[in-house]
Amino acid sequence: MIYFFCRTRLTNNSYLCTLKRLNMNRRKFLIHLILIALCLIVLQPIAAYAQGSKKPLKCTVPAYLKQGDKVALITPSYYGSMENTRKAAKVLRSWGFKPVIGPNVGRKHLTHYAGTAEERLADLRWALNDPDIKAVVCMRGGYGTLHLAEELPLQEMASSPKWIIGYSDITTLLNMENSAGVMGIHGVMGCNIGGRGGADLSCTLVRDLLKGQVPRYELPANELNIPGSATGTLVGGNLATFVPLLGTQADAVGNTDIILFVEEVEETYHNIDRLFNILKINGVLAHCKGVILGDFTDCNNDVGYESVEAMLREYIAPYNIPMLCGFPAGHEKVNLPLVMGAPVTLDVRADGATLTFDMPGKQKTLRTEGLRPPQTDKPELDASQFVNIADVVPDAILEIRYYGTYNFVGQRIDGYEQPTALMTKRAADSLKAVSDDVMRLGYRLKIYDAYRPQMAVDHFVRWAADITDTLMRQYFYPEVDKSLLFEQLYIMEKSGHTRGSTVDLTLFDMSTEKDVDMGGTFDWFGEESHPDFGGNPETGVYNGNPSPAGRTITEKQFRNRQILREAMLRHGFKPLDSEWWHFTLKDEPFPDTYFEFPVKELK
């Protein structure tokens, strides 16, 4: 019938001629008129959306938080462990808030989901409907919030405005909240806050924003920027997450007068192009006032453009609107918070750009230039500033685990060509001072690993991605889900070892000719490896508190860890908060350089 309607509209003949040709009677004519009217009713919203007839988005600012306010921790996407949730809760408590954990956090459904869609929705509703909860921190992304997009009436978000914080897959919730007329925060999640101790800039900016301090960003020039000035409502997020929301109740980017923010991770260029073309076809770009491009992390260039920004610039340039490239938000360690749903002013100039949030709160200007170390295309191959540890610390014992097969992978690791240990000369000299110190106490240093080439780190990443390879699980990670090694920061794509001034070591007792009992083995994945397990390493006070698995260490084992720690700290090394054996020289000579040459004796 739609086809008939179109044909009769396009022809120059009158309805009477058409009816005569089709030999219709009066009754059929009336039926056709009714069906035509129904078609118009059905098609009108679609046509209206395509023409961009939505109104400008106006969002409420949720109340800023004060001391003692409750903050909920939930897992609306992929599974997040209770251990990581407790870490995030500890940080939130240190910020002056009262963390409360969702009733279904820790549940798991199928391979990756944090419980069923019903359980995840129940936790979201629990957080939204509790009037004492003032903010909702999502523990991690992944996938799964799309299941909730049409299940939660937007009125439930609008009736009790509160900050929802997250990024990546949490883009769905942020767009739902914006569509409900409430602002949200695109920023670090619970796993980031807990894993970093809440101390880095991306975390502290979220903390300060929750307390009412609104950032104003000043950004450096970028050759792909399109100059101009615009005001509008900031919407968007992860491209692959918000594009499927077009035409739904959660469609925030379909409104007029928007400033569109876009970031992406691990997508091909051609898929990014497809998604952006969908935005163009649906009229989204036509009612943009400006565009902010964030990070495009690990995106595969399969179409030949110089960059994602260069590709998207071709879409945006014809609209004569400002475009800002390189805003540090997305799937990188520096992930600056953005208030989604806020009115903003974007000013892009030849010498730089500013992004201002036109909302209540105390403004604080932040210059983003230099927040990230310069990235080189290739790892450094020059070993001229490195030494053999055995030459500088001849009393050290070398037990290089990654040269052999007794390690968490179960095979020799790429790049370990000889069972030796290398370090920068500056770090090795400091390690010699540590060795002299502990020798006076009757100990020698035993070294498990020092400099680690990038190819070895890449080997770890490949191993972690293969969740079926659990050969050494019983020895190193019996209680850790291998699919969570990246989330729980046991495995990362960059390592301090690769910069050449980090060492993994223990103590060897010269009187007993045995390793000193530290109450745990090197490379054990679990809380038992944390320096604060069993006591406070800062004060040296032992408490004997058990792990979730019921394990503990004795006071003697805790004291043994302290002997190593205190000797390393005395001579310029800093500890890692998750491994009692891991130390990095504070004044490392190559803080931004990752080396690639293999581990073998230097001539």
Same domain, 260 and 165: yes
CATH code at 163? 3.40.50.10740
Same domain, 92 and 15: no
Q: How many CB atoms lie within 10 A of CB 491?
A: 19
Coil, strand, or helix at residue 592? coil
Same domain, 400 and 327: no
| pLDDT over threshold 60, residue 560 | yes
Q: How far apart are CA 511 and CA 117, in angstroms?
A: 59
Q: Is the pTM of this model over 0.85?
A: no
Same domain, 28 and 82: no
**597 occurs within a structural domain:** no
Report the pLDDT averaged over residues 402-427: 96
**593 occurs within a structural domain:** no
**249 occurs within a structural domain:** yes
pLDDT score recorded for residue 484:
83
Coil, strand, or helix at residue 430? helix
Same domain, 303 and 240: yes
| pLDDT over threshold 50, residue 60 | yes
The gap between the terminal CA atoms of the chain, to the nearest Å, is 85
Same domain, 501 and 581: yes
| pLDDT over threshold 90, residue 195 | no
Domain boundary among 367, 402, 429: 367
**594 occurs within a structural domain:** no
CA distances from 123 to 102, 183, 219, 492 (A): 6, 20, 38, 30
74-96 b/e (C-beta count within 10 Å ≥ 16 → b): bbbbbbbbebbbbbbbebbeebe
Q: How far apart are CA 152 and CA 252, in angstroms?
A: 15
Please write the tens of the pLDDT for every residue from 254-284.
999 999 999 999 899 999 999 999 999 999 9
Q: Which helix H or strand E contains 353, and what residues bound it?
A: strand 352-357
Nearest 5°: the CA angle 559, 91, 60 is 180
Strand partners, 531: none
pLDDT score recorded for residue 28:
61
| pLDDT over threshold 60, residue 10 | no
| pLDDT over threshold 50, residue 23 | no
- The CB-side HSE value for 363 (13 A sphere, CA atoms) comes to 11
Q: How far apart are CA 407 and CA 414, in angstroms?
A: 13
Q: How far apart are CA 67 and CA 369, in angstroms?
A: 32
Same domain, 322 and 436: no
Question: Who wins on pLDDT, 6 or 435?
Answer: 435
Report the pLDDT averaged over residues 286-314: 95
Same domain, 362 and 410: no
Say what percent of the chain tops pLDDT 90.
Answer: 78
| pLDDT over threshold 80, residue 31 | no
CA-CA-CA-CA torsion sign (436, 438, 443, 449): negative
How many separate domains does the chain show? Answer: 3
Q: How far apart are CA 590 and CA 454, in angstroms?
A: 14
Q: Which domain, by its residues, includes 532?
A: 386-585
Q: How far is CA 587 from the centre of its chain?
A: 28
| pLDDT over threshold 70, residue 477 | yes
pLDDT score recorded for residue 30:
55
Same domain, 45 and 99: no
Per the CB < 8 A criterion, the answer to whether 572 and 430 are in contact is: yes
Q: How far apart are CA 498 and CA 453, in angstroms?
A: 5
**184 occurs within a structural domain:** yes
Per the CB < 8 A criterion, the answer to whether 202 and 334 are in contact is: yes
Same domain, 29 and 102: no
Please write the tens of the pLDDT for every residue from 341-358.
999 999 999 999 999 999
**372 occurs within a structural domain:** no
**60 occurs within a structural domain:** no
Same domain, 191 and 255: yes
Domain boundary among 340, 367, 394: 367
pLDDT score recorded for residue 315:
97
Q: How many CB atoms lie within 10 A of CB 293?
A: 26
**377 occurs within a structural domain:** no
CATH code at 544? 3.30.1380.10
Residue numbers annotated as active site: 579
Same domain, 361 and 398: no
Q: How far apart are CA 125 and CA 120, in angstroms?
A: 9
Question: Who wins on pLDDT, 337 or 84?
Answer: 337
